[in-house]
Structure 1
Amino acid sequence: MASPPSTLQVKVSPAKKKSSILRSLPFPLTFTFPPSPPPTVRDVKLAIAKAHPSLYTERQKISLPENSKALPDESSILFGSGGDVEVLVGDLGPQISWTTVFLVEYAGPLIIHPLIYHLPTLFYGKAVQHSALQKSVYAMVLLHFLKREFETLFVHRFSHATMPFRNIFKNSAHYHLLSGLLLAYDIYRPGFSEPSVAGTWRDNSTLLTGAWGVWAFAELSNLSTHLTVRNLRPAGTTTRAVPMGYGFSAPFNLAFPNYFFEIMGWTVVCAMSGSLAAGLFLVVSTVQMIVWAQKKHAAYKREFGDKYPRGRKAIFPGIL
């Protein structure tokens, strides 16, 4: 029986030399590791980043020559009998932290709504006597996105540290334009002002009080589910477990109750106002969350198998 090789060598070649960084590196790169335990993809990334700091770990995609799919960081490098292997490194481009992404996304409505609400003459050409409805929507929107900012800083733990910087513009557009500019401009206009809604169903104090109650329930329930998920993952890890407890178990029995409660909260804003802009944001957001929930729900089933609760739905109790 042949003895194991004294060293394990990883040859790193460029996947495609499209980026300026990959064109500038002296390929192939070769790194030598101790034979036990075998290095992981993460170890290879760290070695590349140490030799060439401009290609930091979050910017790298490591794959095999025969398969362009990215290898997970925790996977071990499989060596041939000679104790060497070749992998490809791709450049994912400049990265930005997910924390920064969410802070920027949610900051949009927090800036846009106060501007339009407090400076109506600038946007509508005249002053607006704000109705109780407008005041309620204004408070709900600000509280919702302040909660989102708080969760980003102190609650959420992300599986991936970064994403490509270029994506922040696409991600932010959803919030800055739909729940920011479009919703604010529509809901604070003179058509929803105190003189315009006086004596109509939009001026019903009982309706507004009920709306506040349902909205607060949805927001607090959403926060509760986020805290549950946070507690499943120790800090600094990517540990995954089947979430249980409020929202995840009966009577809701959902894989992603956070999405369900999010939809509930925006449904309240849409129903209490009758705003077309609120309706558009609700529809777009709901469709996107359904897509995310179904994809992640299927991944949960594959990952946890028999340990996953039978009968659990993805996003709507007993339906979907």
Structure 2
Amino acid sequence: MATLVNFLFPPPPSLYVWAMSVIGLVSLAFCGFSEIKGNHLQYSKFWNLNSQVSVDKQIKLSSKTGMLLLYTPAFLAGVASFWVFPHDSLRFQLVSFALILHFFKRNFEVLFVHKYSGNMILDSAITISLSYFVSTVTMIYAQHLTQGFPEPPIDLKYPGIVLFLIGISGNFYHHYLLSKLRGKGEKEYKIPKGGLFGLVICPHYLLEIIQFIGVSLVSQTLYAFSFTIGTIFYLTGRSIATKRWYLSKFEDFPKDVKTLIPFVF
């Protein structure tokens, strides 16, 4: 515990932030384990492989519209933070800007990079959008509550900026590579190639983890670290499910490609 004091701001006097730190970690970890078990979120390309739920009577959105619904409220929350808390610290501004850039990138990819082959259920889109919005607002609010607190003895915001930039740029690059797998009018899936895809099946998830580790180092709040740990659990589960899916779809899938961490896992 004494070691954590060197890296984190003192926990804020907020029952809400404490509760959300626990809820966020547990819910994301649960989603990760659910992915491993085959219970996929309903925007996944393979969620319906084992689903017994009929979606015929549910409202469907185009994938592009659904994805924009996922990310836009959280993006707007980040933008609004500069208006709601205009005089907060440089660290606060860096955290808010990182979240804005994260969701701006996602919307940019939705509009100009990703290619789609299905639909999204409206109920699922609203639920996921709300979770992104709440987690973004909570991270910003938790950072605001550190105003006036003594800085952690070890300042990690500059290494955090470096990791964030590596993660977000690498994640974008690998999303671009995935988009180039399909030609115009093609909808079938192919084995990803290029970049780090020769080492791991989900380098975009690995780099998103690095990105959020960067955000938590910039923030140095309990909530940011708990959210990042939950994200690691979730994206690890997604990676395991994704590799299992590729192995089931392609007999020639290279067996030496790792799941998430090159040469290790």
Q: Would you say same fold, with TM above 0.5?
A: yes
Question: 1:139 Cα shift?
Answer: 1.6
Contact kept, 8 Å, 2:206 with 2:260, in 1: the verdict is yes
Larger Rg: 1
Match of 1:181 in 2: 137
Match of 2:175 in 1: 226
What aligned pairs does 1:143-292 form with structure 2 within 5 A after superposition?
A: 143-160=101-118, 162-178=119-135, 180-189=136-145, 191=146, 193=147, 195-197=148-150, 200-202=153-155, 207-249=156-198, 253-292=199-238
Contact kept, 8 Å, 2:159 with 2:214, in 1: the verdict is no
Distance 1:112 1:259 in 2: 24
Question: Could you say what secondary structure the match of 2:93 adopts?
Answer: helix
Question: 1:166 Cα shift?
Answer: 1.7
Match of 1:318 in 2: 263
Q: 1:109 aligns with which of 47, 50, 74?
A: 74
Match of 2:98 in 1: 140
Contact kept, 8 Å, 1:254 with 1:312, in 2: the verdict is yes
Question: 1:69 Cα shift?
Answer: 7.3
Amino acid at match of 2:263: G
Question: 1:90 Cα shift?
Answer: 7.3
Distance 1:266 1:184 in 2: 14
Distance 1:196 1:90 in 2: 50
- Any stretches of 5+ residues in structure 1 without a counterpart? 1-67, 71-88, 121-127
Q: 2:254 aligns with which of 264, 286, 309?
A: 309
- The Cα offsets for residues 1-60 of structure 1, whole Å up to 9 and x where unpaired, read as xxxxxxxxxxxxxxxxxxxxxxxxxxxxxxxxxxxxxxxxxxxxxxxxxxxxxxxxxxxx
Instruction: Calculate the aligned-residue CA RMSD, in Å.
Output: 2.4
Q: Using structure 1 for the length normalisation, give the TM-score.
A: 0.61
Contact kept, 8 Å, 2:205 with 2:235, in 1: the verdict is yes
Distance 1:262 1:150 in 2: 16
Question: Could you say what secondary structure the match of 2:250 adopts?
Answer: helix
Contact kept, 8 Å, 2:78 with 2:97, in 1: the verdict is no
Amino acid at match of 2:158: T
Q: Taking structure 1 as reference, are residues 168 and 91 closer, same or farther at Cα in structure 2, changes over 3 Å only?
A: same
**Equivalent residue pairs, number:** 215
Contact kept, 8 Å, 2:202 with 2:239, in 1: the verdict is yes
- The Cα offsets for residues 144-179 of structure 1, whole Å up to 9 and x where unpaired, read as 11111100101111231x12222222111220111x
Question: 1:199 Cα shift?
Answer: 8.1
Question: 1:92 Cα shift?
Answer: 3.6
Contact kept, 8 Å, 2:160 with 2:218, in 1: the verdict is yes
Amino acid at match of 1:94: I
Contact kept, 8 Å, 2:171 with 2:208, in 1: the verdict is yes
Contact kept, 8 Å, 1:92 with 1:164, in 2: the verdict is no
Question: Could you say what secondary structure the match of 1:261 adopts?
Answer: helix
Amino acid at match of 2:189: R
Question: Could you say what secondary structure the match of 1:201 adopts?
Answer: coil
Higher share in helix: 2
Contact kept, 8 Å, 1:117 with 1:188, in 2: the verdict is no
Taking every aligned residue pair, what percent have the same amino acid on both sides? 22
